[in-house]
Amino acid sequence: MYSEKVMDHFRNPRNVGELSQADGIGEVGNARCGDIMKLWIKVENGVISDLRFKTFGCGAAIATSSMITEIAKGKTLDEAENITDNLIAEALDGLPPLKMHCSNLAADALKAAIADYRLKQSSAS
Amino acid sequence: MTQIYMDHAATTPLRPEVLETMLPYFSEEFGNASSVYGWGRRARQALDRSRDTVAEILGAQAEEIVFTGSGSEAINLALKGAAKAQQKKGRHIVTTAIEHHAAYDSVFWLKKNGYEVTVLPVDSEGRINPEAVRSALRPDTILVSVMHANNEVGTIQPISAIGALVQEHGALFHTDAVQTAGILKLNVDELNVDLLSLAAHKFYGPKGVGALYVRKGVRLEPLVHGGFQERGRRAGTENIAGIVGLASALDLAAAERELESRRLARLRDRLFAGLQEIPFTRINGSRVHRLPNNVSVCFEFIEGESLLLNLDLRGIAASSGSACTSGSLEPSHVLLALGLSHEIAHGSLRLTLGRETTESDVDYVLGEIPEIVHRLREMSPLYQA
Ligand code: FES
């Protein structure tokens, strides 16, 4: 039921783990089925230079987590904030209808990490 | 690649010997059992023989057996059919929190249609206390339904004790024996049941055929109208090939049951022993009152669907009660009824063994699972190594 792309990211998820020197951390839970994603980002000159994730969830949740780390890397914060769940799903050659909500998890985690980064910046200055 | 099927509670492969008995009724013996000429008579004979076989195994009379199109249909007919036929006596039904959806949803359909329902809780092993059933009985209780053994966690219920007190009270007692037919001994008098349902494909028979035992004197309102088949309790031209297959599969299973159960229980315990070595693993259900072929565990901090996908990549077919696998995005109501949290229920894994399962299959599975669980935990934000 999953595309080959999804299975590829599921089998070999990119950027799994934590960043010890993260500039922003986002953790979100998915109300639909109770899953959790945590995302660490590193920001250099307004650009996301590195990311890591940990996810407690289904195959689609893991694949979308992995995919968003690839898409967001090298993007400016503004660009990264505009990554939608649809975009992630498309990059994975689609998700089964019942699994579309899992891609929210990844997009929301990234937004949360960026918000966390911005908050830290404003309280530091 | 290695292919290991460990989902026998979902369905089983048709036994070749069973297929052999069915084949003539797809082709040369295609007759309608209601016809008077040779083809019809021969179909009728096959139907009667099959009914006798099933009745004998259940300790019942032939006319107490109704063939249906599935286990779910048998359960629906038992519950809706009996409730409707009894409605002048009362409208109260008692059931449990861990029934299969076929029973659970039938009872809730009745509730929407003016019946009152009491749902009994289970203990942390998934067992029903007969005393809880006794205290739920009311003067207007017409029907009690308790599954013989649970499909997810394998817990076997004290059916005989529950049946005795339900019958003494004067209500009807149904048990869903879909998971136990072919595995446990089913004698309707020892079990004290008035209605008992089963499905052929769970004991190496064909899909699309089930049976309902209906104790003599118990009236049922049919679900399917349109003919006098099955003594007016289930209209429709009989699926002779399927019915012959059900009977021959049950017959084979009954003959081999004791030996095979012991063999399966050994494999089951070997699996449990191996899985228990994985840290943060809990066993679901009872260790004592348990189906010989059911292994159900929860691995903390991980999610069931990603576990199943990883198992599938290594050729192992299993199932899970995780919300992410459910289609409704709700975790299994059975695991929740046992008192597990949503989070823990997420990490559930069910392995159900069968005739083809060997010790080396079990060892292969035990070789793969720890690594998969470890990998997923490394990926989990909930897990602190
Ligand atoms: S995370 Fe639960 S369905 Fe995807």
Do both B206 and B153 map to the same domain?
A: yes
Write a three-state SS string for B219-263: CCCCCCCCCCHHHHCCCCCCCHHHHHHHHHHHHHHHHHHHHHHHH
CB contact under 8 A, A35 and B305: no
Q: Which residues is B178 bridged to in the sheet? A: none
pLDDT for the residue B322: 92
Domain hosting residue B270, numbered range: 4-11+257-384
Between CA B123 and CA B126, with CA B124 as vertex, the angle to 5 degrees is 65
Do both B248 and B273 map to the same domain?
A: no
B336 near A CB under 8 A: no
Residue A124: pLDDT above 80?
no
Q: Which residues is B7 bridged to in the sheet? A: B352
Average pLDDT of chain B to the nearest whole number: 97
Where is the domain boundary, B252, B286, B311? B252
Task: Locate B348 and state its tokens.
Answer: 């559930």
CATH of the domain at B33: 3.40.640.10
Coil, helix or strand at residue B155: strand
What would the mean pLDDT of B84-104 be, rounded to a whole number? 97
Say which range, A117-121, B36-40, B274-278, B381-385, has the weakest mean pLDDT. B381-385
What would the mean pLDDT of B69-93 be, rounded to a whole number? 97
pLDDT for the residue B46: 98
What are B245-283's pLDDT values in tens digits?
Answer: 999 999 999 999 999 999 999 999 999 999 999 999 999
Do both B102 and B212 map to the same domain?
A: yes
Cβ neighbours of residue B324 closer than 8 Å, sequence gap 6 or more: A33, A35, A57, A58, A61, B303, B304, B305, B306, B346
Between CA A29 and CA A38, with CA A34 as vertex, the angle to 5 degrees is 35
Query: What's the rounded Cα separation, in Å, for the pair A119 and B24?
Result: 76
Do both B169 and B290 map to the same domain?
A: no
Q: Which helix (H) or strand (E) holds A52?
A: strand A47-56
Do both B237 and B334 map to the same domain?
A: no
Where is the domain boundary, B229, B252, B275? B252
pLDDT for the residue B1: 82
Residue A106: pLDDT above 80?
yes
CB A64 within 8 A of CB A102: yes
pLDDT for the residue A1: 85
pLDDT for the residue B255: 97
What would the mean pLDDT of A107-121 be, rounded to a whole number? 96
pLDDT for the residue A30: 76
CB-nearest partner of B342 from A34, A54, A59: A34
Q: How confident is the model at residue A115 (pLDDT cuts 50, 70, 90)?
A: very high
Query: What's the rounded Cα separation, in Å, for the pair B15 and B202?
Result: 11
Do both B272 and B149 map to the same domain?
A: no
pLDDT for the residue A123: 85
Q: Whose CA is nearest to atom 3 of ligand 1?
A: B324
Do both B132 and B227 map to the same domain?
A: yes
Do both B118 and B177 map to the same domain?
A: yes
CB pairs under 8 A between A and B: 59
Contacts of B302 in chain A (CB under 8 A): 56
Do both B241 and B271 map to the same domain?
A: no
pLDDT for the residue B294: 98
Do both B197 and B285 map to the same domain?
A: no
Cβ neighbours of residue B214 closer than 8 Å, sequence gap 6 or more: B64, B65, B66, B78, B194, B195, B220, B233
CATH of the domain at B314: 3.90.1150.10
Note whether ipTM > 0.90 here.
Answer: yes
Residue B142: pLDDT above 90?
yes
A61 near B CB under 8 A: yes
CB-nearest partner of A38 from B327, B342, B381: B381
Residue B317: pLDDT above 90?
yes
A121 near B CB under 8 A: no
pLDDT for the residue A32: 74
The count of C-alpha atoms lying within 13 angstroms of the C-alpha of B316, restricted to the half-sphere facing its C-beta, is 27
Q: Which helix (H) or strand (E) holds A48?
A: strand A47-56
pLDDT for the residue B224: 95
Ligand 1 pocket at CB < 6 A: A 30, 33, 35, 57-58, 60-61, 99, 102; B 323-324
Residue A96: pLDDT above 80?
yes
Coil, helix or strand at residue B122: coil
Where is the domain boundary, B200, B225, B252? B252
Q: Which atom of ligand 1 is nearest to the CA of A101?
A: 4
The beta strands (E) that lie in chain B are given as: 4-5, 65-68, 92-96, 116-120, 141-145, 172-176, 195-199, 210-214, 281-283, 294-299, 316-317, 348-352
CB contact under 8 A, B306 and A10: yes
Query: What's the rounded Cα separation, in Å, for the pair A8 and B8?
Result: 29
> Closest-CA residue in chain A for B304?
A58
The number of distinct structural domains making up chain B is: 2
Do both B154 and B242 map to the same domain?
A: yes
Task: Locate A20 and state its tokens.
Answer: 């010890």
Query: What's the rounded Cα separation, in Å, for the pair B23 and B27?
Result: 7
Q: Which of A77, A102, A106, A110 is catalytic?
A: A102
What are B154-172's pLDDT values in tens digits?
Answer: 999 999 999 999 999 999 9
Between CA B293 and CA B300, with CA B296 as vertex, the angle to 5 degrees is 160
Residue A5: pLDDT above 90?
yes
pLDDT for the residue A77: 97
Do both B297 and B353 map to the same domain?
A: yes
What are B16-39's pLDDT values in tens digits?
Answer: 999 999 999 999 999 999 999 999
